[in-house]
């Protein structure tokens, strides 16, 4: 599930190359005005965890209308050490008036650049002459390898402060081309390592944000051998469906002694939560014992993966405000659920599927199990649940995404 930020970097750089506010669009072509190529005066590119952030200062302001007729282009060209072009990301006009600009990505093939397709980015403008774009890794290279980049701005016809060439599609029509920086710049990337998350919002949650049709699949009581936890992880990865696993601490060294399965979860985009050390009724324990149950499990997860969880789920759903406050002071958000499939009763694959699909709503947290008993029915129901949710227009996310939590990377 992990994608590279290489192309994403490009996306932002391109966007950043658009004009700014020092002058309106009617300025001279040399400055990136109505008829000229866009001019970039400064740009910076920073990797922030899995995302890249590009801030660019332009010489003139612009609007989406500047791209409406294809007379101007603003693209980020991505290259490897050989100097060959691997991809090109370009600004496209908004889908409709008042909407933000769009980005497209074209990947190089043996026959040249392929057909462009949409590439998402979050674009903000701190000032009219400045643009910042942040974006997740894109489907260009799964290894976060270093790359070189250069913004290319073109305009057909009119004056040009730099060299002009004839248009291939319209021989004899001059095309102005500007490059920034003058020589390709190096973007030094590294594979981000997830080391934690930060609890936010209320101390107890039953659902996530409902503004979008997102739902979260969650699994309790593992790791476990029946079926092996890796089969759950592999199936979810095959369907590109992130999930959240709440683990019992004392079972980690027994069923995942090297931590390889848990590291695979995180690499695939899944989230890991704390389900206590021995799965007790937490309300029957002293405050000190409650804290020990949470902290021992968090240490076991961190020892196995390098990741410190910020989510926990109370066994049997046994919780109260005092316990929730205590957990929050320790850095944990208490997570309940809004849909209980009751798969622990072994009701059959069809019943588990029906419960998950019938209960789904925007922001739903769906409870299932990957341990504590034979969970073959749950595993067998998963493909139909995933496909059924998607047919209903839902997007599958992990709990950190559903709750809008901040992830911590190194």
What per-residue confidence (pLDDT) applies to 26? 31
> Do 128 and 61 meet the contact criterion of CB atoms below 8 Å apart?
yes
CA-derived radius of gyration, the chain: 25
If DSSP codes are grouped into helix, strand and coil, which group holds residue 203?
Answer: coil
Q: Which residues are catalytic?
A: 220, 369
Instruction: Give pLDDT, residue 166.
Output: 54
Q: What is the structure's pLDDT at 27?
A: 35
385 CB neighbour count, 10 Å cutoff:
26
Tokens in use for 152? 């290319």
pLDDT value, residue 25: 32
- Predicted local distance difference test score (pLDDT) of residue 54: 76
* 38, 129 Cβ separation under 8 angstroms: no
Per-residue confidence (pLDDT) for residue 383, from 0 to 100: 98
Beta strands at 112-113 and 130-135: parallel, antiparallel or unpaired: unpaired
Write b or e for each residue in 199-231: b if 16 or more Cβ atoms lie within 10 A of its Cβ, otherwise e.
beeebbbebbeeeeebbbbbbbbbbbeebbbee
pLDDT digits (tens, 9 = 90+) for 121-151: 777 777 777 777 777 666 566 678 888 888 8
Q: How far apart, in whole angstroms, are the C-alpha atoms of residue 11 and residue 5?
A: 10
Residue 13 has a pLDDT of 40
pLDDT digits (tens, 9 = 90+) for 43-102: 877 788 877 777 777 788 877 777 777 788 888 888 876 678 888 888 778 877 777 777
What pLDDT is stored for residue 2 in this prediction? Answer: 35
CA–CA separation, 117 vs 262, rounded Å?
Answer: 34
Residue 325: the pLDDT is 98
**CATH 3.20.20.370 in the chain, residue ranges:** 194-409
Q: DSSP letters along 137-200, please?
A: -BTT-TT---EEEEEEEEEESS--SS-EEE-SSSTT-EEEEEEEEEEEEEE------EEEEE--
CATH 2.40.30.10 fits 194-409, yes or no: no
Give the residue ranges of the chain where pLDDT is below 50: 1-34
Dihedral, CA of residue 156, residue 160, residue 162 and residue 165, to nearest 10: 40
Provide the pLDDT for residue 1: 37
Tell me the CA end-to-end span of the chain in Å, nearest whole number: 19
Structure tokens at 274: 């704390």
pLDDT at 16: 38
Confidence at residue 221, expressed as pLDDT on a 0 to 100 scale: 98
């Amino acid at each position: 599930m992990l994608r590279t930020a290489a192309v994403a970097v490009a996306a932002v750089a391109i966007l950043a190359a658009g004009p700014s506010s020092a002058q309106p669009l009617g300025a001279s072509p040399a400055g990136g005005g109505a008829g000229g190529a866009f001019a970039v005066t400064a740009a910076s590119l920073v990797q922030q965890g899995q995302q890249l952030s590009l801030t660019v200062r332009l010489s003139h302001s612009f609007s989406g209308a500047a791209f409406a007729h294809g007379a101007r282009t603003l693209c980020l060209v991505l290259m490897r050490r050989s100097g060959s072009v691997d991809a090109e990301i370009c600004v496209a006009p908004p889908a409709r008036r008042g909407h933000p600009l769009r980005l497209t990505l074209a990947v190089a093939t043996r026959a040249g650049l392929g057909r462009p397709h949409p590439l998402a980015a979050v674009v903000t403008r701190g000032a009219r002459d400045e643009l910042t774009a942040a974006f997740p890794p894109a489907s260009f290279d799964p290894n976060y390898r270093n790359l070189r980049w250069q913004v290319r701005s073109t305009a057909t016809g009119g004056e040009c402060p730099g060299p002009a060439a004839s248009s291939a599609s319209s021989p004899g029509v001059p095309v102005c081309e500007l490059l920034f920086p003058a020589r390709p710049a190096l973007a030094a990337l590294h594979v981000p390592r997830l080391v934690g998350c930060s609890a936010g919002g209320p101390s107890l949650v039953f659902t996530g944000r409902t503004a979008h049709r997102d739902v979260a699949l969650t699994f309790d009581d593992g790791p476990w051998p029946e079926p092996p936890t890796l089969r759950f992880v592999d199936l979810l990865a095959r369907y590109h469906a992130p999930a959240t696993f709440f683990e019992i601490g004392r079972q980690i060294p027994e069923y995942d002694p090297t931590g390889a399965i848990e590291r695979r979860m995180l690499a695939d985009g899944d989230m890991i939560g704390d389900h206590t050390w021995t799965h007790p009724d937490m309300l029957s324990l002293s405050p000190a014992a409650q804290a020990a149950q949470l902290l021992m499990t968090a240490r076991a997860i961190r020892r196995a993966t390098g990741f410190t969880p910020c989510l926990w789920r109370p066994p049997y759903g046994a919780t109260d405000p005092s316990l929730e406050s205590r957990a929050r002071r320790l850095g944990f958000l208490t997570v309940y659920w809004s849909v209980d499939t009751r798969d622990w009763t072994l009701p059959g694959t069809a019943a588990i599927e029906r419960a998950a699909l019938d209960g789904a709503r925007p922001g739903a947290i769906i409870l299932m199990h990957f341990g504590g008993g034979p969970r073959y029915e749950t595993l067998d129901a998963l493909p139909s649940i995933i496909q059924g949710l998607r047919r209903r227009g839902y997007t599958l996310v992990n709990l950190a995404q559903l709750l809008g939590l901040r992830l911590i990377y190194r």
